[in-house]
Amino acid sequence: MPFTVALTGGIGSGKSTVANAFSAFNIEIIDADVIAREVVKPGTSALQAIVKRHGESILTAEGTLYRARLREIIFQQPQEKNWLNQLLHPLINARTQQLKTQALSPYVVWVVPLLIENGLQHQADRVLVVDVDETIQLQRTRQRDGVSLSQAKSILAAQVSREQRLAWADDIIDNSGTPDQVLPRVAELHQRYLSMAATGRD
């Protein structure tokens, strides 16, 4: 299993920007969100189970998962969130392990938005937190997703606090500025991770 750097951060912190910067060094990115979409693609047993539980209205006209509707259901009914997690987490975990095993780069960057919330931090050799203050998070989330301020605040409230996330960080990238401003820090961490991966230490 390759040396694994778990990349996390709150909504709107710019995890994708940082992941793309590591990708430019030919480091393989394993993205939990991408895998989560993959395991519920049309034709999968997971999507069939979701339809069986919530009916055809959980599908779009194209037959894909209607994410906004599912999000609404699990926001209003916590027990449905638990059911969904029990269905999807083992599938996501199995695919993640498979991708780690197949990785060819010296280390992998594993992007997990809810790393701390789901208690997955122990599955990584290193935890890298992308950090911005909450004002920037709310602003970016509203711009990107077209949600209201109260919706953005409720999404933020459902995640662990900034302090809790930083308490688990081995490394931190401040992403308050422009995308280009994180590049020197990514380059510095890349060298550090190469060295750690080569010596097998964290």
> Mind listing the pLDDT tens digit for each residue in 74-87?
888 889 989 999 99
Residue 115 burial by Cβ neighbours in a 10 Å radius (0-12, 13-18, 19+): buried
- Look at residues 6, 22, 10 and name the one whose alpha carbon lies nearest to residue 179: 22
pLDDT value for 72: 86
List phi, psi (to 5°) of 45.
-65, -30
What's the pTM value of the predicted model, to 2 decimals? 0.88
Let me know: does 127 contact 171? Beta carbons within 8 Å. yes
pLDDT value for 138: 85
Q: What is the DSSP letter of 137?
A: H
Element (H, E) at 54: helix 45-54
Let me know: does 169 contact 127? Beta carbons within 8 Å. yes
- Look at residues 125, 95, 127, 122 and name the one whose alpha carbon lies nearest to residue 111: 127
Within 17-106, strands assigned E span 28-31
pLDDT at 201 over 70: no
Let me know: does 36 contact 88? Beta carbons within 8 Å. yes
Q: Which amino acid is at 135?
A: T
The DSSP bridge partners found for residue 29 are 109
The residue-averaged pLDDT of 104-119 equals 94
pLDDT at 202 over 60: no
